[in-house]
Chain A
Amino acid sequence: MNELVNKLRQGNRRALARAMSSVGATGHAESSLEVCLRESTGQVPWWGFTGPPGVGKSTLLDALLVHLREHGRRVGVVAVDPTSTRSDGALLGDRVRMMRHAVDDGVFIRSLATHGHHGGLSDATLHCARLLELAGYDPVLIETVGVGQNEVEIRSVADLCVVVLGPGYGDDIQLVKAGLLEIADVVAVNKCDLPEAQRLVNEVRQEFAAAARDIEVVAIEAKSGNGVPELLQRLFELDRARRTETAEASRGRRRTLGEIRRRTEFSCRQALGRAMTGPEVEQWITKLNRGECSLATVISRLAALALAELQQEADDG
């Protein structure tokens, strides 16, 4: 363990890569590495990037990496793509946009799949980001999957949320409704080389004005890099405010709370899933259909079953 942590701190990339694979996403008893990570990280703010599919999040990260490197930063990236709905497989395509940084010693990129987790992030995200922090990467950038509606979980993980929007997504107003703008610390309107983009910039600014929120809306072209230095300046300003001691304390609390929530939800769902496929279910169906019991009874029995199983697991672990 200590040896692994030493290797990580010395910048051993293979050790880092291996450690990232070792996350206990199955809800098993956590490893000593996970405990150590929770203890020894929390100083570095994580920057989250979210927005609709194909809006240019990865391309923006690629451009930001160039400038962050010019500022002498060593940068870690966790990029999440969706697990297929048809198989357990996934195309992890974010990295294709960032390949020019592949052999840069000061950049470490890791691709993750959502693994049936529906919050736009993967269970391994937190683990990988913490490892990057431990290995001395600062800042850590997190790209979520292309979000649709209420997948705003990034807010509980990242210290700074960049919402990326772009023209041509007819449902932008729906995104506004679904709370995507609510989680933004900055909005980057990408693809401003396209004609409809300026209108979108104005619309989003009006939206914030109406809500009396002072959120900057930056017009960018991730592909050419236009506007990206301005966005980065804004991010540095916000980042500075997050490096105070109080910010650090609340960061530790928020990350752990998010972790508790995700893991608890995950374990409960799993246990419930097993209870739902257990042998008792058939009897309950029959009883319900005959009017011999109420749905509330069934719910409480199944929940109790799941709970007992969780308790058993904890005792065994």
Chain B
Amino acid sequence: MRKLDQAGQQDLTSCTVDAHPPKRILIGKVGLDGHDRGAKFLIRALRDAGYEVIYTGIRRTPEQIVQTAIDEDVDVIGLSLLSGAHNQLFARVAELLKEEGVEDVVLLAGGTIPEKDVPYLEALGFRHVFTPGAPVSEILSALQQELSSRE
């Protein structure tokens, strides 16, 4: 997004601010699952794509995730889970968001999630579910689309 000019102009032009500040996205890991390679891979890809990323670290409660998302006023919440406990934990996050009256945040899910659980997660409000091997380009363009459809 930012122009990287030659000839030493970068310092000046880099101060020209976009009319739209970067979107903020929270990447969260709930429950006891310690698989964080996917989440860490993702936060770097998101940063490089121009997002401001808040990572919660592993082993968080749904309450911590939701309160953090509210305090940081994020546009997107992405949850990553590889342990198999996604149905329960993601449902709890969705429930808490509803209780708090948070309705305008894009919800994404990812990890080892069997095909048969996808409709359930979608019904909870998760807009996309990504499974192992999902190309970054696909994740980024889906995210972009979600965000621009909400402008």
Contacts and interface: CB of A to CB of B under 8 A. Distances in A.
A92 to B, nearest CB: 5
A5 interface: no
B53 A92 contact: yes
Interface string A90-117: 1111011001001100001111010110
Contacts of A108: 71
Interface residues of B, number: 40
A276 B5 CA distance: 12
A93 B49 CA distance: 17
A86 interface: yes
Interface in A121-144: none
Contacts of A244: none
A266 interface: yes
A145 to B, nearest CB: 14
B134 to A, nearest CB: 20
Nearest to A92: B54
Contacts of B123: none
Contact of A115 (B17, B57, B60): B17
Contact of B43 (A25, A87, A91, A103): A91
A103 B1 contact: no
A273 B16 contact: yes
A269 interface: yes
B47 A89 contact: yes
B97 to A, nearest CB: 12
A75 B1 CA distance: 36
Interface in A230-279: 266, 269-270, 272-274, 276-277
A245 to B, nearest CB: 33
Contacts of A87: 1-2, 47-50
B87 interface: no
A20 B47 CA distance: 21
A91 B44 contact: yes
Given A89-B49, A99-B60, 11 more contacts: A13-B70, A17-B70, A17-B72, A87-B47, A88-B1, A92-B52, A99-B64, A102-B60, A115-B17, A273-B15, A277-B13
19 contacts: A13-B71, A14-B102, A17-B70, A25-B17, A84-B48, A87-B49, A88-B2, A88-B50, A89-B22, A89-B47, A96-B57, A99-B68, A103-B63, A108-B71, A111-B72, A113-B52, A115-B21, A269-B12, A270-B17
